[in-house]
Amino acid sequence: MEAIKPEKLFCSEMGKRAIIAHYHRTDWPYQVVKTGTELSLGSRSVQFIETRMLHWPDSMFSYLKEDGILFSNDAFGQHIATEERFDDELEAGKAINAAEHFYATTLTLLSPLVQKLLKTMEKMELDLRLIAPDHGIIWRQQQDEILEGYRRWSQQEQHPEAIIVYDTKWKSTEMMAKAIAQGIEEENVPARLMSLKECHRGDIMQRLLTASTIVLGSATINNAIMPSLASFLMYMKGLKPRKKIGAAFGSYGWGGEAVKQLNTMMDEMKIKRIDDGLRIKYVPHEEQLKECVEYGRHIGRATKADK
Ligand SMILES: Cc1cc2nc3c(=O)[nH]c(=O)nc-3n(C[C@H](O)[C@H](O)[C@H](O)COP(=O)(O)O)c2cc1C
């Protein structure tokens, strides 16, 4: 600011408050704008549309009417590092995939606001020749696809698929996870094993954005679930995924509290639990693995029955 010395600094009221909270400068030339404000730049004009909480309080779209460019702030963005500038310069599907990851890890909890925003945009009948988010690539070919993606993701549309998120110390819970996955697939429902030792929590949330079923597995350690599960579930809870069904399992030695704790956490997240879960003492033997397969089939059937 000291170097540029702008004549005016256009921002929303919330933007002004945020800038002051960061830089503590009340003397900068703020010019507060809001939805509907139009700013003439000579041969061009900018229209502002406030998009509060998408995903910061000060978020705002700026629309350059004459060129059909929507500077969309965080919306429609991606966490992607690439030399390319435009969606069509990336290999097919890569930009949408990155946008889906961004949505799953940043916007899921704000889905009701996204739905409202999409309606507002529809009413405004914007000519969207370019959508330029703050971070990520610019959409110049796949505008319809990204808007359709936001419609589906914000409505949390899902398909029958079970994501098995688990951790294990000595592999008994993993043996259970694999047998449960087998049972789910025997019911012709896709099952994806996601070990917390191998998968990033963001990647799990992306898969969970469109999958109907979450199956949580943990060994009991010190009367509790494993720390990796606790960390993942805290993250997941914040993102507020909706319309899920769930189940829990785990190996234990004596008290076996983990499954009960997983159940409680699912209840807190309003996940519709299939039942009270499956626990096996120490290492599962052949008959118990069959029980796990049967439990998987039960989850598969519940997944198919869930509407
Ligand atoms: C450090 C440690 C603490 C444990 N604490 C408990 C416990 O509080 N309650 C329990 O039921 N089992 C406890 N166990 C036993 C494990 O739950 C049991 O060995 C289980 O089979 C491990 O499953 P895994 O092979 O999937 O890691 C503990 C094991 C370890 C290594």
273 burial (CB, 10 Å; 0-12 / 13-18 / 19+) is middle
d(CA 137, CA 121): 20
d(CA 84, CA 306): 42
Interval 160-181 mean pLDDT: 98
In this structure, are strands 60-64 and 211-218 parallel, antiparallel, or unpaired? unpaired
For residue 257, which amino acid is it?
Answer: E
d(CA 30, CA 18): 12
Which ligand 1 atom sits closest to the C-alpha of 171? 25
Q: Is 269 within 8 Å of 237 (Cβ atoms)?
A: yes
CA quadruple 142, 148, 150, 153: dihedral sign: negative
Question: Per-residue pLDDT for 191 more than 90?
Answer: yes
In order of 97, 171, 237, 250, 292, the CA distances from 174 in angstroms are 29, 5, 24, 9, 11
230 burial (CB, 10 Å; 0-12 / 13-18 / 19+) is middle
Question: Per-residue pLDDT for 114 more than 80?
Answer: yes
CA of 256 to the centre of ligand 1 (A): 8
Which residue segments constitute the domains of the chain, with CATH numbers given?
33-154 (3.60.15.10), 162-305 (3.40.50.360)
How many C-beta atoms surround the C-beta of residue 235 within 10 A? Answer: 14
CA of 291 to the centre of ligand 1 (A): 20
Atom 17 of ligand 1, residue of closest alpha carbon: 252
Question: Per-residue pLDDT for 307 more than 80?
Answer: no
Interval 86-108 mean pLDDT: 96
218 C-beta closer than 6 A to ligand 1:
no
Summarize pLDDT for 201-258 with one digit per residue, the tens: 999 999 999 999 999 999 999 999 999 999 999 999 999 999 999 999 999 999 999 9
pLDDT of residue 53: 86
281 C-beta closer than 6 A to ligand 1:
no
pLDDT of residue 269: 97
For residue 72, which amino acid is it?
Answer: S
197 C-beta closer than 6 A to ligand 1:
no
Interval 246-275 mean pLDDT: 98
Quick one: tokens of 118? 């999409």
pLDDT of residue 54: 87
Interval 37-48 mean pLDDT: 94
Could you tell me the pLDDT band of residue 27, with boundaries at 50, 70 and 90?
very high
d(CA 161, CA 301): 11
pLDDT of residue 151: 97
pLDDT of residue 186: 98
Across the strands, what pairs with 30? 9
Quick one: tokens of 211? 């999958």
Interval 110-119 mean pLDDT: 95
Q: Is 189 within 8 Å of 300 (Cβ atoms)?
A: yes
What do you get for the CA distance between the two ends of the chain, in Å?
A: 54
Question: Per-residue pLDDT for 1 more than 90?
Answer: no
261 C-beta closer than 6 A to ligand 1:
no
Interval 22-28 mean pLDDT: 96
- In DSSP notation, 150-211 reads HHHHHTT--EEEEEEEEE-SSSHHHHHHHHHHHHHHHTT--EEEEETTTS-HHHHHHHHHHE
CA of 219 to the centre of ligand 1 (A): 6
Question: Per-residue pLDDT for 136 more than 90?
Answer: yes
d(CA 130, CA 67): 8
